[in-house]
Amino acid sequence: MARDLGNVLIGVAVIVAAWWLTAEAMIHLRGAAFPTPPEAFVALWEALLGAELNNATVYAHTQSSLSRWGAGYLIALAFGLVAGMAFGTAPRLHDAGMVAVYILQMVPGLAWIPIAMLIFGLGEAATVFIIAMTAIPPIVINTAGGIREVPTVFTRVAQMSGREDSSVFLHVLLPAASLSIINGMRIGLANGWRVLIAAEMVVGVALGLGFSIYQSRYSLDFTAAFVAIMVICVIGLTIEKLLFVKMENKVRNRLGIDREDDT
Amino acid sequence: MIAELRNVSKVFADPRSGRGLVALNDVSLSIEEGEFLCLVGSSGCGKSTTLNLMAGFEAPSRGQMLFRGEEVSGPSPERGVVFQEPSLFPWMSVLQNVMFSLQDGGARKAVREERAMEQLRLVGLDSFAHARPNDLSGGMKQRVAIARTLAMEPEMLLMDEPFGSLDEQTRRKLDNEALSLWQRERKTVVFVTHNIDEALTLGTRVVLMSPSPGRIEREWHIDEAWPRDLSSPRMVSLRQEVVGMLQACPCANGAPRPSLLTLEED
Ligand SMILES: Nc1ncnc2c1ncn2[C@@H]1O[C@H](COP(=O)(O)OP(=O)(O)O)[C@@H](O)[C@H]1O
Ligand SMILES: [Mg+2]
């Protein structure tokens, strides 16, 4: 645990150092108003104390981003898990349908903007749609793949003991595939979070961390953009490392596969 | 007679060429009630395929697979299988693995647990009931797998190289356990192995298969009592005969290559 913390500190230090060097270089070479880490951290501190960025507190921005992301992700989970389980258990469906999923996965986040706007117009629904569309493919792919890779011998054990298909699915396929399924859920979550900035270009309401970053192009308040970037990174990392790593370790442990030594 | 393969052929689609790959060609074999039948042969000659047909995991392409006079339509607890590869669910305890195979059929959980414990006791692993499979050695895992299959009270026990991945010493020990189990319960056993000594130590009958395409080459009835002495003149000459047959087969020396030919389905 102490080692992990050390690694996190090193990682942060590397990023901050690179950022600082870039900022100083740009200030001197181009005269650009590139926020330095101390300026940005001060602004972050002030924002956390309640100063407004782009006409709202950082809490209001964060809250609206989180709720859009949550909505998009829940939709992605519902679609992705159901589709993944269907593809995973029906080989014919898998062969016919997976190419479409891989194509969807290739569509870059920004490319969903015109599509979202054509379907939903400007507004909340378009944002949620974009988040969902980028989160769905990895969930489908990993769920289906995980189920398909369950060793035949496991299903045979269940079949010979007289289990119904539904019982084989519930008691054998799902647990055996759970690590892969969780992995897909994690990639989907990260995809959705990363696409927030793009997705919030089409929000109707002037709120959101991504919107804040985008808005700095017009307001020229680049320090505010850096505050938003930092908040996005911290939230993304926290959810990924704390929530998912914990969940994965727990599942690993339950599955009885290479138990973590340090838990 | 408990089970019978009647002119069974099995053709798989060869994943590369897309053509038919004949794993078994016109195999007929009767399995007698209570016998300990050992299926031997070089790898790729269709031993596992034969066992999978008996278990109901695969269906014949031609011919019939009969169990107690009726055509086998799928896997069933009456035909229990012990697999070569690790087959215990790593996310369940040893006890839960054994209980998993017990039909819920009205039996209360406590009753099923007691029955599972009884099976674990028979293989000497009751003290590991709450361990995870991955904490056990390879030999112990296979013992649990046997306990799990026996808990279903199958009428026929199908074992596919069950001790093939164990070290020699452990294999011998488990061979003896399997033998005493069979002597105690007199269940019909079909035991696949590529180890001729193992087959000669255990079987009341040894059936030799040969590849390209998979077929039955010859069989020997062995009425020697146990424990068998493989260095006795009779066993030595029997062993020479089996080894001779195995080497006479055209594919025994090179890599076994199943023939590629197409059987029309009828
Ligand atoms: N599901 C399958 N699909 C295609 N070919 C198979 C399949 N199962 C077995 N075979 C082929 O059938 C032949 C016999 O295999 P198998 O019964 O496993 O042999 P053995 O158990 O004697 O080593 C092999 O050539 C193998 O590659
Ligand atoms: Mg085999």
Q: Which residues have any ligand 1 atom within 6 Å of their CB?
A: B 12, 21, 23, 41, 43-49, 214, 258
Distance from CA of A170 to the nearest CA of B (A): 13
Note the pLDDT of residue B199.
94
Note the pLDDT of residue A85.
97
Q: Are A173 and A147 in contact, with CB atoms under 8 Å apart?
A: yes
Note the pLDDT of residue B245.
87
Sheet bearing B3-13, strands edge to edge: B20-31, B3-13, B62-67, B70-71
**Crossing angle between the packed helical segments A124-148 and A58-89, to the nearest 10 degrees:** 40
CA atoms within 13 A on the CB side of B59: 5
Note the pLDDT of residue A237.
84
Of B132, B153, B174, the one marking the end of a domain is B153
Of B153, B184, B206, the one marking the end of a domain is B153
Same domain, residue pair B140 and B172: no
Q: Which residue's alpha carbon is at the smallest distance from atom 16 of ligand 1?
A: B46
Same domain, residue pair A157 and A240: yes
Are the Cβ atoms of A153 and B133 closer than 8 angstroms? no
Number of neighbours of residue B253 by Cβ within 10 angstroms: 9
ipTM (interface pTM): 0.89
Range of the domain at B31: 3-78+155-262
Question: Which of B:48-77 have CB within 8 Å of A?
Answer: 55-57, 74-77
pLDDT per residue over B133-144, tens digit each?
A: 999 999 999 999
Q: Could you state, in chain order, the average pLDDT of each consecutive group of 10 residues for chain A (263 residues)?
A: 81 93 93 91 93 89 93 96 97 93 91 91 91 96 97 96 92 94 93 86 81 85 90 87 82 69 37
Write out chain B residues lying below 8 Å of A256, CB-based.
Answer: 90-92, 132-134
Domain-embedded: residue A50:
no
Domain-embedded: residue A217:
yes
How far is ligand 2, taken at its centre, from the CA of residue B144, in Å?
A: 21
**Residue A150: both structure tokens together:** 């369950």
Same domain, residue pair A17 and A143: no
Note the pLDDT of residue B13.
86
Q: Are B162 and B83 in contact, with CB atoms under 8 Å apart?
A: yes
A153-162 burial, b at 16+ Cβ within 10 Å, e below that, comes to bbbbbbbbbb
Domain-embedded: residue B83:
no
How far is ligand 2, taken at its centre, from the CA of residue B48, in Å?
A: 4
Domain-embedded: residue B84:
no
Tally of domains in chain A: 2
Same domain, residue pair A28 and A73: no
Same domain, residue pair B19 and B55: yes
Report how far residue B79's alpha carbon sits from residue B120's, in angstroms, rounded to the nearest whole number.
Answer: 20
Cβ-based neighbours of A118, under 8 Å, separated by 6 or more: none
Note the pLDDT of residue A259.
46
Same domain, residue pair B47 and B177: yes
Range of the domain at A72: 61-257
Domain-embedded: residue A66:
yes
Nearest CA in chain A to B84: A153
What is the phi/psi pair of residue A249, to 5°?
-60, -40
How far is ligand 1, taken at its centre, from the CA of residue B52, in Å?
A: 10
Torsion sign (Cα): A142, A146, A148, A149:
positive
Same domain, residue pair A77 and A176: yes
Residues of chain B with pLDDT under 50: 252-266
Furthest CA-CA distance within chain A? 75
Tally of domains in chain B: 2
The answer, for B89 touching chain A at a CB cutoff of 8 Å, is yes
Nearest CA in chain A to B88: A154
Tell me if residue B237 falls in helix, strand or coil: helix
Write out chain B residues lying below 8 Å of A158, CB-based.
Answer: 100
Same domain, residue pair A117 and A221: yes
Domain-embedded: residue A45:
no
**Residue B192: both structure tokens together:** 């696949």
Atom of ligand 1 nearest to the CA of B42: 22
Q: Are B133 and B186 in contact, with CB atoms under 8 Å apart?
A: no
Note the pLDDT of residue B250.
58
Report how far residue B189's alpha carbon sits from residue A89's, in angstroms, rounded to the nearest whole number.
Answer: 33
Note the pLDDT of residue B259.
46
Report how far residue A156's alpha carbon sits from residue B149's, in angstroms, rounded to the nearest whole number.
Answer: 12
CATH (domain of A220): 1.10.3720.10
Are the Cβ atoms of A154 and B81 closer than 8 angstroms? no
Burial zone of B114 (CB within 10 Å; 0-12 exposed, 13-18 middle, 19+ buried): exposed
How far is ligand 2, taken at its centre, from the CA of residue B244, in Å?
A: 22
